[in-house]
Chains A and B, each alone.
Chain A
Amino acid sequence: MKIAIVDPGSGNLASVLRALERVIAESGRQAQAVVTTDAAEVRDADRIVLPGQGAFAACRRGLDALPGMVDALQDAVIESGKPFLGICVGMQLMAERGLEHGTTPGLGWIRGEIAPMDPRGPDGAALPLPQMGWNGLELAQPSHPLLEGLRPGLHAYFVHSYALAGGDPAQLLASTTYGGPVAAIVGRDNMAGTQFHVEKSSLVGLRILANFLRWKPETAA
């Protein structure tokens, strides 16, 4: 099995690669994870991971700057139904648009837009921003294969100031609470995205990555 980690140019992908390598080693399966900027490698891969850090607009620009990459992602994920995992801004790019540093179109795979957060405590006081740290997961679709073995309340590591707004409840797999509900994992068919950093979420994150490697989407297009 070949897993392509797409490098949109604005992030540090070493952590994602290391976490996947650990999960592959523990699974005992023959698999290889590679960081790539090459559209042909995405077409060639069996599974695709899109990490992302920094601003939505910069990540989208980075993706667009890779020749043929957006088309290759569309073909692999939408046409061929290959399992796909977006991480942090990579998850945000799955939405219709992002509002960070101007309005930028997303891949349009998930309903909603990525809007600035303004979390408030019960007394109306501003909560710190970005949300940075470990927050508990509420499982909206506990039977989803990506969430196998997870129980409600487990923590994942979040760092973000923008979040999904106007999403489709049917595409919400898990949420967290920071001033109000925040989309933590979204997905449909053969694709999923985590707002938190799976590669930095200790055993919880490694379990999600292991589930991703095993995932055989039933409703792939």
Chain B
Amino acid sequence: MLALRVIPCLDVKDGRVVKGVNFLELRDAGDPVEQARIYDREGADEVTFLDIGASHEGRDTILDVVSRTAAQVFIPLTVGGGVRSVEDMRRLLLAGADKISINSSAVADPALVTRGAEAFGSQAIVVAVDARGDGKGGWEVFTHGGRRGTGIDAVQWCRQAEQRGAGEILLTSMDRDGTRAGFDLDLLRAVRAAVRLPLVASGGVGEAQHFVDGARAGATGLLAASVFHYGQMRIGEAKAALEAAGLPVRPLAEAV
């Protein structure tokens, strides 16, 4: 059985973790590489870096972070934030990223999805979609960190991303993000019904049961940032809840 993926996300700015808990085992809580190593050891199925600095000066710091992480952590690594071109993607992939997540730049230029997929394969291209309820039963795509509305229907955009060659959708509910009220399950179900791609749910996790709810709504990957950052939940608790609900997981620390 294909296991559900539990994916911690690290917000990185100028090479440092923006918010992070000071785990006892960490020498430097602000070092994304150290954080990624802890998550790996705890059984994370992938790690995502979101570069929220994304200024030109900051770009090289994320390359260094990715490179140092990839030398120590042998699980898939997704990197997003400020990716605007195939050349940006290439530099991140060469540094050791496995998947590149694009958001605002894909909305501005949907052909970027296709160009990325043709250059590196669909498996390397994640389209990240920030969606907010439109009050009429649908969802609108927002860009620029959720600040800018686009008038684009989120479900339609996910379908278009699939047709253009994306290998995965990372779907964030702007309504739920930061609320700890759980994923937007209606949004997940609507996108699940519209695309066949792997679907990563994001935004709203507050307790372990939310991972179960997200999986049952059709997500194949479950991403959370702050509950893991602040140590309110460990990766193992999320997996234990999934397993207790009869859902497939990769057991912690498969030693060989």
Contact = CB atoms under 8 A, between A and B. Distances in A.
Contacts of B198: 128, 130, 132-133
Contacts of A55: 121
B1 A126 contact: no
A25 B219 CA distance: 38
A18 B254 CA distance: 20
A155 B254 contact: yes
Given A12-B94, A18-B70, A128-B220, A157 B76 contact: yes
Contacts of B253: 203
Contact of A12 (B1, B75, B93): B93
Which of A19, A126, A159: most chain B CB closer than 10 A? A159
Interface stretch (A108-116, A183-191, A204-212): A204-212
A68 interface: no
B74 A53 contact: no
Nearest to A150: B256
Nearest to B219: A128
B1 to A, nearest CB: 7
Interface string A181-221: 00000000000000001011111111100000000000000
B254 A133 contact: no
Interface string A53-67: 111000000000000
Interface string A117-128: 000000000111
Contacts of B45: 133-134
A199 B2 contact: no
B122 A130 contact: yes
A131 interface: yes
B220 A132 contact: yes
A103 interface: no
Which of A14, A55, A136, A201: most chain B CB closer than 10 A? A14
A200 B74 contact: yes
B233 to A, nearest CB: 20
Contact of B74 (A12, A22, A150): A22
Contacts of B168: 132
Contacts of B40: 202
A12 B120 contact: yes
Grouping DSSP codes into helix (H, G, I), strand (E, B) and loop, the B interface class, with mixed when no group exceeds half, is loop
A129 interface: yes
B256 A204 contact: yes
A177 B1 CA distance: 6
Which of B1, B220, B250: most chain A CB closer than 10 A? B250
Which of B45, B95, B98, B220: most chain A CB closer than 10 A? B98
A102 B199 CA distance: 28
B123 A53 contact: yes
A128 B219 CA distance: 10
B196 A129 contact: yes
B71 interface: yes
B5 interface: yes
Given A150-B256, A200-B74, A202-B75, A129 B123 contact: no
Interface string A1-18: 000000000111011001
B96 interface: yes
Contacts of B220: 128, 132-133
A72 to B, nearest CB: 25
B242 to A, nearest CB: 13
Minimum-distance CB pairs A-B, first 5: A54-B121, A132-B198, A12-B93, A134-B250, A155-B250
Interface of A: 10-12, 14-15, 18-19, 22, 53-55, 126-136, 149-151, 154-155, 157-161, 177-178, 197, 199-207
Given A10-B121, A128-B198, 14 more contacts: A11-B120, A53-B120, A54-B121, A128-B196, A129-B197, A130-B198, A132-B198, A133-B2, A133-B4, A149-B256, A158-B2, A200-B74, A200-B76, A203-B256
19 contacts: A10-B120, A11-B121, A12-B94, A14-B70, A128-B220, A132-B198, A133-B3, A133-B4, A133-B220, A155-B250, A155-B254, A157-B76, A197-B76, A199-B74, A200-B75, A200-B76, A202-B74, A203-B253, A203-B255
